[in-house]
C-alpha cells in the first residue's frame, strides 16, 4: 500500500495539505473556516491556465468544411486503425483477467475475420442501391419499378421508412444496416422537404453517403408547377447535393378518366393508366454507375470500417470498465477514511478533491487518456465545485443520515456520515469520468479538448442512476464495516 501511495503524488500532497490545515486549526480555528466554495476555488486556481488553454477561443468559430472524398488511402488508414484497436483489445483482455479466458481469442478472431471480409469489398464492381423516404411517398412502387429495369452492375439492398419525427439515427437497427451497406441512397419525397427529411439528408451526407433526391408523384401537380418545385428542391439542398442529383419522376401515375365520342355521337368513358416516367432517374443512375461506382463503393467500405471500429471500441470500453470499477471502489474508501478521520468538516472537500484528482489520473491511464497532475486537480476541482452548486453534497448527507439511525453509533456517528458521503461523492465522480471517457472514445477519431460541460452532464445522469435506496443501504453497510467496525455487528 505504501509503495502505491508513493506513486500517487496528488494524493500524498493533498492529504498533506489537509493534515497541515488540521494542525493550523489547533493554533487558530479561524484559519480553516474558509467555507466549502473557497476550498474548491483554491484547488482550481493553481491550474487555471491549463483549463483556459483547453477552452476553444471565442474568436475562432468552427467552420463546417465540405467532407473530403473517400479514396483508397483513407480506407486503408481506417483498416489500420481497426487493426490497431483489435490488437489493443487483445492486450487489454489479457490484462483484465476475465472469468472465461477461452472466450478472448474467439472474440478477437471474430473481429479479425470481419475486418478481412471487409477488405475484400474494396474491389467490388457492383453498385448497391437503397430507397429511403417518409411514409406514402411511393418507395415500394419505386423499388418494384427499379427491379424491372435492366441496369447492369446494380443491385437493390433494401428500403427504409423515416419516423414521423426525428432523424435516421432514431429509426430501427435494420434500417441503419441497410443504409450503411448502400453505395447510393435514393431519397424519395413528394414535394417540399419536411424538417425530418432535411435533417436526415444532412446526416446522410455528413456520414459520407451519396444520394439522389427523387421528387416522386409529380403528376399530382399542375404541369407549370412541376419545374418550380424541382428547382425549389435543388435550392434547398444545394449546399450538399449537386443539382444533377435531384430528379423528378412519376413511379405510378394516377389513373385518368378519358371520355371519347363515338361515331354515333354518343360518349364513352374509360380509365387509362399512364406509363411510369422514370427517364430522368434512369439516365442519372446510368451516369453514376458508369463514372462513380468505385468511389461510392469505397465510401461504403469506409463507413463499414468505421462501424466495425465502433464495435471494437464498445468491447474495449466494456473491458476497461471492468478494470475501472475496482479503482473507483478503492478511492471511494480512501476518501471515506480521510473524511471519517478528519475532525474539521470544512476540510473534507479538500481531501476528497485531492483523492479524486489521483483517481482521474489512474482512470485516464486505463482509458488511454493522459493527464498531468495539475490538469487532474483542475478538472476535479471544477467538478467538486459543481457538486456543491448542484446540491449533491447536501443531498448525499440527507440521504445517508436516516439510514444510520438504526445502527448503534455513538461518537463516530458524525464522522461516519461524512465518510460515507465522501465515498458516495467519489463514486459519482469516478463513474462520471468512466461515462465521459467512453463517450469520447466513440465520438471522434482525434483527441478533443476536455469538455467540462459534458462531464457535468454525465455527473447528473450518474447521480440519477445511483440514488436508489437499495444502493445507498449497501453503501452504508459497507461503510460501517470499514469505518466503524465495532458497530458492524448491530448492522
What are the structural domains, with CATH classification, of the chain? Answer: 2-56+314-490 (no CATH), 125-306 (3.40.50.300)
Choice between 64 and 227, residue whose per-residue pLDDT is larger: 227
Q: Could you tell me how far CA 22 lies from the centroid of its own chain? A: 44
pTM over 0.95: no
The Cα 282–Cα 198 span in angstroms is 24
**In the predicted structure, residue 313 carries a pLDDT above the cut 80:** yes
- Residue range 338-378, pLDDT digits in tens: 888 775 555 556 667 788 999 999 999 999 998 987 889 88
- Report the C-alpha gap between 366 and 433 in whole angstroms: 11
Residue 405 confidence (pLDDT): 67
> What CA–CA distances, in Å, run from 128 to 62, 90, 280, 296, 298?
34, 34, 19, 9, 12
Residue 28 pLDDT more than 60?
Answer: no
Query: Would you say residue 23 has pLDDT above 50?
Result: no
Q: How many CB atoms lie within 10 A of CB 422?
A: 29
Please tell me the predicted confidence (pLDDT) of residue 103: 54
* Contact residues for 306 (Cβ-Cβ < 8 A; gap 6+): 78
Write a three-state SS string for the chain.
CHHHHHCCHHHHHHHHHHHHHHHHHHHCHHHHCCCHHHHHHHHHHCCHHHHHHHCCCCCCCCCCCCCCCCCHHHHHHHHHHHHHHHHHHHHHHHHHCCCCCCHHHHHHHHHHHHHHHHHHHHHCCCEEEEEEECCCCCHHHHHHHHHHCCCCCEEEEEEEECCCCCCHHHCCHHHHHHHHCCCEEEEEECCCCCHHHHHHHHHHHHCCCEEEEEECCHHHCCCCCHHHHHHHHHHHCCCCCCHHHEEECECCCCCEEEEEECCCCCEEEEEECCCCECHHHHHHHHHHHHHHHHHHHHHHHHHHHHHHHHHHHHHHHHHHHHHHHHHHHHHHHHHHHHHHHCCCHHHHHHHHHHHHHHHHHHHHHHCCCCCCHHHHHHHHHHHHHHHHHCCHHHHHHHHHHHHHCCCCCCCCHHHHHHHHHHHHHHHHHHHHHHHHHHHHHHHCCCCCCCCHHHHHHHHHHHHHHCCCHHHHHHHHHHHHHHHCHHHHHHC
Q: What is the mean pLDDT of residues 450-463?
A: 91
pLDDT digits (tens, 9 = 90+) for 73-98: 999 999 999 999 999 999 988 876 55
Identify which of 169-183, 367-381, 395-409 has the greatest average pLDDT: 367-381
Q: What is the pLDDT of residues 175-228, one digit of tens each?
A: 568 888 899 999 999 999 999 999 999 999 998 999 999 999 999 999 999 999
391 or 3, greater pLDDT: 391
Over residues 305-334, mean pLDDT = 94
> Which band of pLDDT confidence, cut at 50, 70 and 90, is reported for residue 43?
very low
Q: Cell 467490388 maps to which residue?
A: 124
Closest CA to 450 of 389, 385, 374: 374
Closest CA to 341 of 396, 409, 412: 412
Closest by Cα among 386, 470, 485, 377 to 428: 386
Strands 246-248, 184-189: pairing is unpaired
pLDDT at residue 57 in the model: 41
Amino acid at each position: 500500500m505504501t509503495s502505491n501511495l508513493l506513486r500517487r503524488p496528488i494524493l500524498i500532497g493533498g492529504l498533506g495539505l489537509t493534515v497541515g490545515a488540521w494542525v493550523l486549526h489547533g493554533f487558530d480555528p479561524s484559519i480553516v473556516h474558509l467555507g466549502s466554495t473557497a476550498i474548491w476555488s483554491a484547488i482550481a486556481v493553481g491550474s487555471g491556465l491549463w483549463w483556459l488553454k483547453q477552452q476553444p477561443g471565442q474568436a475562432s468559430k468552427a467552420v463546417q468544411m465540405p467532407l473530403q472524398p473517400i479514396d483508397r488511402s483513407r480506407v486503408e488508414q481506417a483498416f489500420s486503425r481497426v487493426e490497431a484497436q483489435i490488437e489493443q483489445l487483445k492486450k487489454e483482455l489479457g490484462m483484465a483477467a476475465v472469468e472465461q479466458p477461452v472466450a478472448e481469442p474467439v472474440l478477437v478472431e471474430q473481429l479479425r475475420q470481419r475486418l478481412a471480409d471487409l477488405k475484400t469489398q474494396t474491389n467490388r464492381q457492383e453498385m448497391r442501391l437503397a430507397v429511403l423516404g417518409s411514409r406514402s411517398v411511393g418507395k415500394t412502387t419505386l423499388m418494384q419499378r427499379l427491379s424491372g429495369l435492366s441496369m447492369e452492375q446494380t443491385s437493390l439492398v433494401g428500403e427504409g421508412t423515416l419516423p414521423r419525427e426525428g432523424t435516421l439515427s432514431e429509426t430501427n437497427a435494420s434500417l441503419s444496416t441497410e443504409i450503411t451497406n448502400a453505395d447510393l441512397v435514393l431519397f424519395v419525397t413528394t414535394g417540399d422537404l419536411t424538417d425530418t427529411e432535411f435533417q436526415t439528408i444532412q446526416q446522410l451526407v455528413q456520414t459520407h453517403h451519396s444520394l439522389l433526391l427523387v421528387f416522386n408523384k409529380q403528376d399530382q401537380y399542375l404541369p407549370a408547377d412541376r419545374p418550380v418545385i424541382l428547382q425549389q428542391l435543388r435550392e434547398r439542398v444545394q449546399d450538399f447535393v449537386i443539382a444533377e442529383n435531384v430528379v423528378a419522376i412519376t413511379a405510378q401515375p394516377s389513373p385518368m378518366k378519358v371520355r371519347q365520342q363515338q361515331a354515333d355521337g354518343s360518349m364513352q368513358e374509360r380509365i387509362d393508366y399512364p406509363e411510369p416516367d422514370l427517364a430522368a432517374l434512369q439516365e442519372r443512375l446510368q451516369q453514376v454507375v458508369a463514372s462513380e461506382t468505385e468511389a461510392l463503393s469505397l465510401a461504403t467500405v469506409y463507413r463499414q470500417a468505421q462501424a466495425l471500429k465502433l464495435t471494437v471500441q464498445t468491447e474495449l470500453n466494456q473491458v476497461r470498465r471492468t478494470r475501472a470499477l475496482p479503482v473507483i471502489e478503492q478511492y471511494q474508501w480512501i476518501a471515506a477514511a480521510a473524511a471519517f478521520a478528519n475532525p474539521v468538516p470544512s476540510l473534507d472537500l479538500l481531501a476528497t478533491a485531492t483523492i479524486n484528482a489521483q483517481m482521474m489520473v489512474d482512470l485516464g491511464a486505463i482509458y488511454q487518456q493522459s493527464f498531468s497532475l495539475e490538469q487532474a486537480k483542475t478538472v476535479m476541482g471544477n467538478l467538486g465545485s459543481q457538486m456543491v452548486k448542484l446540491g449533491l453534497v447536501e443531498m448525499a448527507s440527507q440521504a445517508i443520515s436516516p439510514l444510520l439511525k438504526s445502527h448503534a453509533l455513538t461518537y463516530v456517528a458524525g464522522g461516519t456520515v461524512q465518510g460515507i458521503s465522501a465515498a458516495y461523492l467519489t463514486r459519482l465522480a469516478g463513474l462520471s469520468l468512466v461515462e465521459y471517457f467512453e463517450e469520447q472514445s466513440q465520438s471522434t477519431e482525434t483527441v478533443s479538448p476536455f469538455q467540462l460541460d459534458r462531464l457535468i452532464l454525465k455527473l447528473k445522469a450518474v447521480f440519477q442512476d445511483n440514488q436508489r435506496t437499495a444502493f445507498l443501504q449497501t453503501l452504508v453497510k459497507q461503510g460501517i464495516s470499514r469505518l466503524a467496525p465495532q458497530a458492524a455487528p448491530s448492522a
